[in-house]
Amino acid sequence: MLEGRRAVVTGSTSGIGAAIARALAAEGCRVMLHGLGEREAIERQRAELAATFGTEALYNGADLERGDACVELIEDAVARLGGVDILVNNAGTQFVAPMESFPAEKWDSILAVNLSAAFHTTRTALPGMRTRGWGRIVNMASVHGLVGSVQKAAYVASKHGLVGLTKVVALETAGSGITCNAVCPGWVRTAMVERQAAARAEAEGIALEEAERGLLLEKQPSGAFTTPEQVAALTVFLCSEAAANVTGACWPIDGAWTAQ
């Protein structure tokens, strides 16, 4: 469906991003991976994608806290892939603390990775998309781009900001062949969520399974985690021709969290 398209997926060495990169490669995309991790593991992932789907898979380890590195990530993809048709701003980080004791350096880091990085990658990728008259930008926001939760000031602020950025880019590119949408997952079983569940289990002296169940039932009425593959499938749809007139939308995939 996306044969020959060139995609950059930030934060794609694990979790949701890895599932998205794989789903795009399965549809024929040439993919630039990005993210943290051991170099050997990343190289195995890159080589496996290329071998399994017969497509080009590359890697860049840009530090998304730096605006210049975000620009260099896109420039590297343009140089090595020949352009960027699909940009998935997926990388994200989290820290939990009450507002009055929230570390300022954590605020700065989370806003840089979760929000400012998407600004820098998008502004760098857009001129090429405009020239070609085709582009897909998918911002991985969160249910926390639509509602709040306690002790997550920086994360909630960054994801609300990402939803706002999505709408502005959609308006500025409307009618150009470029779309920009946000995906807003609720609880997805990823390393980040597993760490939150483990911290809850330790704090409350309960089993990990009980802590996970508690997280789910507090917020997500379905009582089930969304899978990375489900988020990836929605992302692929937003990149398809079927979604050519879907832009500026924020898609919850949250087990009815925001329906309450």
Tokens at residue 130, please?
């405009």
Q: Quick check: is 155 catalytic? A: yes
Q: State the catalytic residue, choosing from 6, 20, 129, 155.
A: 155
Catalytic residue numbers, as ranges: 155
